[in-house]
Amino acid sequence: MRPDMRVFQRAILAGLIATLGLTAIMYLAPYIGLPNIDMAYAIGTRLMGHVAVPFSAGWWLGLAIFILVGAVLSPIVYVHARPMLLGNSWQRGAEWGVIVWVFAGTGVMVMMGVGFNEAHFLHPVTSVFSSLAGHIVYGALLGALAAVKTAS
C-alpha cells in the first residue's frame, strides 16, 4: 500500500524539525567539549573546490544541502522503510538514525573525502559516538514527530 501525501508532508515537517535539532547539536557540541563537526563547511568545501569559510556562499550551499537531505530526502525514504523497522515510532526513528549514520559516515562522507576528517583524527572515539548520538536523536525526533496523526 502506498502512503498518501499527508504521510509524506508530516514526515518532511518532522524531518525539518529533526534536522534543525541535529544542526543545533552539531554547532553547540564544541561548547560542551565535543568535537567540532561542521557539515556545511565539509559539504560546501567539496562542492566549491575551495574552503567554504563560515557564512560564505559555499558554506550556505553546504548547509542548504545538509538540511535538504535531512528534511526531505531522508524522511521520504524513511516513510518507505518504516514498515521494515522495529519498535514504536521513536524507536523506529532511532533505528533509522543509526542507518543514516552508517550510510552517511561510511558511504557519503568517505566518498566525499571527509569521512575521516580533522575532527575524527583529533578525537576518533568522541567523534564517532557524538555523531552516532546526534543521528539517533535526529531519527528519534523524526520517528516520533512523523507518527503524530493529523485530524481528518
- Give the pLDDT of the chain (152 residues) as one tens digit per residue: 567 889 999 999 999 999 999 999 888 888 988 777 788 888 888 888 888 888 899 999 999 999 999 999 999 999 999 999 999 999 999 999 999 988 886 666 666 665 555 555 565 667 778 888 889 999 999 999 998 664 44
Q: Provide the whole-model pTM.
A: 0.83
Query: Positive or negative CA dihedral for 23, 24, 27, 30?
Result: negative
H or E, element range at 130 = helix 124-146
CA–CA separation, 7 and 140 (whole Å) = 17
